[in-house]
């Protein structure tokens, strides 16, 4: 299953039998079987033609909309009327306070652990007061998680952790954004976009696995759309999104702040940055890491494994939910080997 990213306003589409063809400047860029499309991601004021919208609705393919600079606007979707496979189990567990408390603690512990691993990875050769304070405080919070009597209080641990963690992230980012082209606003946009792409990817995976995304453990309030997807995102945000953005910003600094390293001044720099970021995003999902139980797998497979682990705990097949906790390997330079920057294109990323 593949995501189609559309970033150019002159893109056009043509349906032929069971295939979708995508053109740019009247040249065919690619074609794909409709049944292999997992979602569309549209950036900017780009309208899908009526026949494509009809196919999207019939095949229940979600379409997510962003501004041309990557701010999330909303989602178009025709949800299935078939009940999610595990919905009854989710409803039963909704009132199981012990299950919810234990699962929430596992997720929060993994979130804090992976945040700490991220900071250790990026400060292996040098650190400062801000990052060291964050590392120490994250350790303290992880040690005290068992003292939180309920899910609501675990939220306070998350808030406290995020305060010191993102101060440390900002401190690290300042080392790699010394040129005027990379501003704090741009970096925040990439972080927000990465989090939204992660959330949407996990949401699609939950649907495929037979889980209803509205039955969350940690994120139950009305401020979070599809809360179960945000629950899973908590474990993956530091190793996937934060690590990706920091690596991407570092590469921008090396390339003098423009997307292709040549500063052509054609007024499309935002698009170029965005296209490169989307390429790196797909590359990140394909990256192999050492899973604590499954060995060397890609991040895509990690997400699949964690969803299966949650289903097993939901059904009572395992005693408790085992979260994803990545290890710090001092001999490695970072979580991943980032893909080499390629020429940005309007592309199908498999």
97-122 and 299-315 helices, crossing angle to 10°: 160
Do the Cβ atoms of 24 and 39 come closer than 8 Å? no
User: Which residue's entry shows tokens 């702040």?
Assistant: 257
* 212 is annotated as contributing to ligand binding: no
184-209 and 243-254 helices, crossing angle to 10°: 140
User: Which residue's entry shows tokens 């379409």?
Assistant: 63
For the chain, what is the HEC assignment?
CEEEEECCCCEEEEEECCEEEEEECCEEEEEEEHHHEEEEEEECCCCCCHHHHHHHHHCCCCEEEECCCCCEEEEECCCCCCCCCCHHHHHHHCCCHHHHHHHHHHHHHHHHHHHHHHHHHHCCCCCCHHHHHHHHHHHHHHHHHHHCCCHHHHHHHHHHHHHHHHHHHHHHHCCCCCCCCCCHHHHHHHHHHHHHHHHHHHHHHHHHHCCCCCCCCCCCCCCCCCHHHHHHHHHHHHHHHHHHHHHHHHHHHHCCCCCCCCCCCCCCHHHHHHHHHHHHHHHHHHCEEEECCCEEEEHHHHHHHHHHHHHHHHHCCCCCCCCCCCCCCCCCCCCCCCCCCCCCCCCEEC
- Bind-site residues: 219
Which residues sit in the known binding site for Mn(2+)? 219
């Amino acid at each position: 299953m593949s995501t189609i990213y559309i970033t150019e306003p002159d893109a056009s589409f043509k349906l032929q039998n069971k295939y979708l063809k995508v053109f740019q400047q009247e040249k065919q860029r690619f074609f794909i079987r409709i049944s292999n499309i997992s979602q569309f991601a549209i950036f900017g004021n780009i309208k899908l033609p009526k026949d494509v919208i009809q196919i999207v609705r019939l095949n229940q393919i979600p379409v997510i909309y962003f501004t041309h600079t990557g701010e999330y606007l909303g989602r178009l979707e025709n949800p299935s009327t078939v009940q999610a496979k595990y919905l009854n189990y989710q409803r039963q567990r909704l009132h199981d306070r012990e299950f919810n408390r234990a699962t929430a603690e596992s997720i929060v512990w993994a979130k804090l652990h992976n945040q700490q691993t991220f900071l250790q990875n990026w400060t292996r050769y040098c650190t400062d007061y801000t990052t060291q304070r964050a590392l120490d405080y994250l350790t303290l919070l992880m040690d005290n998680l068992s003292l939180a009597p309920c899910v609501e209080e675990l939220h306070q641990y998350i808030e406290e952790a995020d305060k010191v963690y993102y101060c440390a992230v900002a401190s690290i980012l300042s080392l790699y954004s010394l040129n005027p082209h990379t501003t704090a606003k741009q970096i925040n946009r990439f972080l927000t976009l990465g989090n939204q792409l992660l959330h949407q990817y996990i949401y699609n995976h939950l649907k495929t696995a037979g889980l209803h995304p509205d039955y969350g453990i940690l994120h139950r309030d009305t401020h979070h759309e599809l809360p179960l997807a945000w629950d899973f995102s908590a474990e993956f945000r530091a190793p996937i999104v934060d690590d990706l953005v920091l690596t991407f910003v570092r590469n921008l600094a090396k390339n003098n702040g423009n997307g292709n390293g040549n500063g052509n001044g054609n007024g499309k720099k935002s698009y170029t940055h965005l296209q490169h970021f989307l390429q790196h995003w797909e590359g990140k999902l394909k990256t192999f890491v050492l899973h604590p139980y499954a060995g060397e797998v890609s991040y895509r497979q990690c997400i699949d494994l964690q969803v299966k682990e949650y289903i097993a705990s939901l059904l009572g097949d395992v005693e408790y939910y085992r979260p994803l906790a990545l290890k710090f390997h001092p001999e490695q330079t970072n979580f991943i080997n980032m893909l080499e920057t390629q020429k940005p294109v309007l592309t199908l990323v498999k």
